[in-house]
Amino acid sequence: MSNDYEVMISSEEIMQGIRELGKTLSDYYLGKQIVLIPLLKGGFMFAADLIRSMDVQMQIEFLGAASYGEQTKSSGEVRLTLDTTLPLSGRDVLLVEDIVDTGLTLAYIQRLIKSRDPASLHTVVLLDKKIRRKVEVEVDRVVFNIPDRFVFGYGLDSPGGFGRNLSDIVAKKE
């Protein structure tokens, strides 16, 4: 990584936050079977570590959505790029998202899942950039609140799709 970037959240801080969230969710879902749905692509690393930190019976599905393209700001248009295969009706669903800023993508996905009549839908996000919110969304748990800066690493990509493999979450120096 070049000197043009600074670490916003270290890999150690990320793992500590995820372990705490995993314990909270394990207690919350005690005795239940859930369907855990990471939102791709950015949520895959967060979801993998969260899944390993939870002691719950679960099935894992995937949903893919895109609203950024190769930009650093949301286009406002959400495209579904991958859909689930399991029926969600009557099931407890946990949606796992990497970052919520405008809320447009998350609101779209939440409406989609709710239309499938789950018994419950809870949403957890790694990063919340509340200052950029354009629509109200229901977020049940947030690991980190962050300022209005473009971040990447730990599954989140920089423009062009690079940087997901970094273990820290970084931002361009101001």
Active-site amino acid positions: 101
Cα–Cα distance measured from residue 35 to residue 46, given in angstroms and rounded to the nearest whole number:
16
Cα–Cα distance measured from residue 140 to residue 103, given in angstroms and rounded to the nearest whole number:
14
- For residue 119, the Cα-to-chain-centroid distance in whole angstroms is 21
CA dihedral 154, 17, 59, 167 (to 10 degrees): 20
Tokens, residue 106: 């998350």
Total residues found in the chain within this entry: 174
